Amino acid sequence: MIKRFIQYYWPHSRLLGLDMSMSVLGALLVILLPWLTSLLLKEYIPADDLRMIYITIGVMILIACVHCVVEFVRIKWGHILGVRVETDMRSDFFSHIQKLSFNYFDTVKTGHLMSRISNDLNLIAEVAHHAPEDLLISTSMIVGSFVMMFHISPPLAFIALIPVPLMIAWGILYGGKMRKGFRAVRRKIADLNSSVENSVQGIREVKSYTNEEAELDKFEEVNCSFRMAKENMYGVMALFFSGMHFLVQSYFLIVIAGGVLLIHFGHNIEVADLLAFTLYIHFILKPINRLVSFAEQFQQGAASFERFVEVMDIEPDIVDRKGAVTFDPVKGAISISNVSFKYASSTEFVLEDVCIDIPASKTVAIVGESGAGKSTIASLIPRFYEPNNGVITVDGHDIMDIRKRFLRRNIGLVQQNVFLFDSTIRDNIMYGRVTASEEELHEAARKANIYDFIMSLPDGFDSVVGERGVLLSGGQKQRISIARVFLKDPPIFIFDEATSSLDTESEALIQDSLELLSRNRTTIVIAHRLSTVRRSDFIYVLKQGRVVEKGTHDELLENKDYYHKLYSMNRF
């Protein structure tokens, strides 16, 4: 874990070097002050050497001024170092989760990811700044102080060493317990964030079903669990700090008592030496107190870094094979051969031995009742998931051998539950192709039958759609998503039940756009309404994950089988 953490310092090695050098310099400057004080009391004042007294006092003032500058540089650039390490980690984290497949996001809660990328990384940033700095400053001050103390009086210096192993042992004993406590707290914070996010996103359902009290009860349960985790952690922390406080106080008393006894029994220790020792004990206790306070922060950071590493260690399960290819042009002929698939969280197959042939530039509909596996096929073609058995090809190339980005770049997808980013209409349409011109943007909106509506808005294309497009109707969101596909202009288009919940007028506008979008490109329609099916060149009928019929609309009606039954019951 430490090795992995240290790797984030290498890009900022110069800044780390500056911070470390200022830390050592500041510690060494402070260590000189008791020694200079001892010289004043033992030599210059008794000798009435006014010149050396003035020089020594001047040097002490100079040390104080230089130390002030050193502290400014250390504090400013040390924190900047922590921020830059945090930024790199956040970039790596976000980049990594972009590589993970739908299998991961099917099981992970968004609130848990948000907790890691915000709260956890904030704590890690503090540790990134303070860990090397505090350790180096404390080590320098403790080692330097003991060097000077052994120079002044070896017997008393040995006495001063006695409590140090006890402090180290106490820190090791309770450090691990604190880390476990902080790890539990980090998990509970993630649960708390997830609960709040879930309730806020579903606020319309909460209010429409008047379930505010039920949501409050669920939140109180998570909140109480979070409170208990923190209370348990604070119990361990109290033991750690109270025990360390006792050892720190005992340290001071042991040294004073040892010095007094050595003087009493005639050892060559002067009062000035004991005063210098007292000052050095102060300088030793200060870094020890610093390390004690840092121990809490370090354990929090260590627990947070472990949670960060947990995600970073998850390997993407959908990656390009060695030697993955691209090809040009993409005509769009798709073949699904004996494909079976089940989700990672399920033991039952959603698809079994499915065979579907989709010629280039043709429109093929896939119909069936809910749960038949239609949308799963739509997710398998772009390799959002990978089949357990069977082969899917595009223009004769196994999609497992095609570069993932190339494959998805040549597929346009419009889904039933449209996602719009909390930004402007312009940004959401341009997401299809960020390099598109203004003319291309307007043309895509016209083809999607959404241009007139956009221009009727006060801000036109710069109108904000709200979180998940909440300020727009379902039909308007669908047409914006279709405009996005028009701008992308892929040779393969998948239309996944995108009109199933729309009114007749919105459906008609979308059907016109769909017909225009389908021209000269391979189109797969996950059909839910008869109007969509009729326009298809060929139809595949799914039932419980298997293809049970195939043919044109008229042929399937003449068969008077499962398709005819669905049609008669208005099931699509």
Q: Which helix H or strand E contains 539, and what residues bound it?
A: strand 538-543
The reported pLDDT for the residue numbered 413 is 87
Range picked from 78-82, 112-116, 155-159 for highest mean pLDDT: 78-82
What is the signed CA dihedral for 385, 365, 518, 535, rounded to 10 degrees? -170
Residues 261, 153: Cα–Cα separation, whole Å: 13
Contact status, residue 356 vs residue 540, Cβ threshold 8 Å: yes
pLDDT at 531: 59
Average pLDDT over residues 440-447: 90
Least confident span in 52-56, 61-65, 84-88, 155-159: 155-159
Q: Which two tokens stand for residue 330?
A: 């993409």
The larger pLDDT score, comparing residue 260 to residue 295, is at 260
pLDDT given for residue 499 in this prediction = 56
d(CA 237, CA 240): 5
Residue 529: predicted pLDDT: 61
Alpha helices (H) in 265-373, listed in sequence order: 271-312
Q: Given this model, what pLDDT does residue 530 score?
A: 61
Lowest mean pLDDT segment, chosen from 80-94, 362-376, 469-483? 469-483
Confidence of residue 66 (pLDDT cuts 50, 70, 90): very high
Average pLDDT over residues 526-549: 82
Q: How large a percentage of the chain has pLDDT more than 90?
A: 19
List the beta bridge partners of residue 525.
Answer: 365, 495
Q: Are 497 and 375 in contact (CB under 8 A)?
A: yes
Residue with the bigger pLDDT between 2 and 90: it is 90
CA–CA gap between residue 186 and residue 182 (Å, rounded): 6
Residue pair 201/110 in contact (Cβ under 8 Å)? The answer is no
Question: Rounded mean pLDDT of the chain?
Answer: 82
User: What is the pLDDT at residue 571?
Assistant: 52
pLDDT of 418 over the 90 cut: no
pLDDT score of 392: 95
For 476, residues 6+ apart whose C-beta sits below 8 A from its C-beta are 450, 453, 469, 506
Three-class secondary structure assignment of 452-473? HHHHHCCCHHHCECCHHHCCCC
pLDDT of residue 208: 62
Looking at the predicted structure, is the pLDDT value of residue 175 above 70?
no
Whether 411 has a pLDDT exceeding 60, the answer reads yes
Per the model's pLDDT, the better-predicted residue between 184 and 397 turns out to be 397
**CA-based nearest residue to 215, from 201, 226, 232:** 201
Is the backbone peptide bond immediately before 329 cis, with ω within 30 degrees of 0?
yes
Q: Are 124 and 86 in contact (CB under 8 A)?
A: yes
**CA angle at residue 548 from 545 to 550, to 5 degrees?**
120
For residue 226, the model assigns a pLDDT of: 81
pLDDT: which is higher, 327 or 130: 327
Q: Shortest CA distance to 28 belongs to which of 75, 83, 77, 66?
A: 66
Beta strands at 411-415 and 492-496: parallel, antiparallel or unpaired: parallel
User: Which pLDDT band holds residue 94 (cuts at 50, 70, 90)?
Assistant: confident
382, two tokens: 């772009």
Which ranges in 100-153 belong to alpha helices (H)? Answer: 102-105, 110-115, 121-152
Nearest residue to 280 (alpha-carbon basis) of 24, 33, 22 = 33
Residue type (1 letter), 269: I
CB 365 within 8 A of CB 514: no
Q: Residue 493 in contact with residue 517, Cβ under 8 Å?
A: yes
Work out the average pLDDT over 360-372. 88
Is residue 349 classed as helix, strand or coil in its secondary structure?
A: coil
**197: three-class secondary structure by DSSP:** helix
Q: What is the pLDDT of residue 223?
A: 85
Could you give the C-alpha distances from 196 to 17, 35, 110, 112, 228, in angstroms and in order? Answer: 42, 58, 11, 11, 18
Question: Does residue 572 have a pLDDT over 70?
Answer: no
pLDDT at 538: 92
Instruction: Flag the least confident range among 13-17, 81-85, 516-520, 556-560.
Output: 516-520
pLDDT > 80? residue 543: yes
Strands 522-526 and 363-367: parallel
**How far from the centroid of its chain's Cα atoms is residue 172's Cα?**
30
Domains within the chain, CATH numbers bracketed: 2-312 (1.20.1560.10)
3-state secondary structure of 368: coil
pLDDT tens across 223-281, in order?
888 888 888 888 887 887 788 778 777 777 787 788 778 777 766 667 677 777 777 77
Binning pLDDT at 50, 70 and 90, where does residue 351 land? very high
User: Coil, strand, or helix at residue 225?
Assistant: helix
Quickly state the pLDDT bin for 570 (edges 50, 70, 90): low
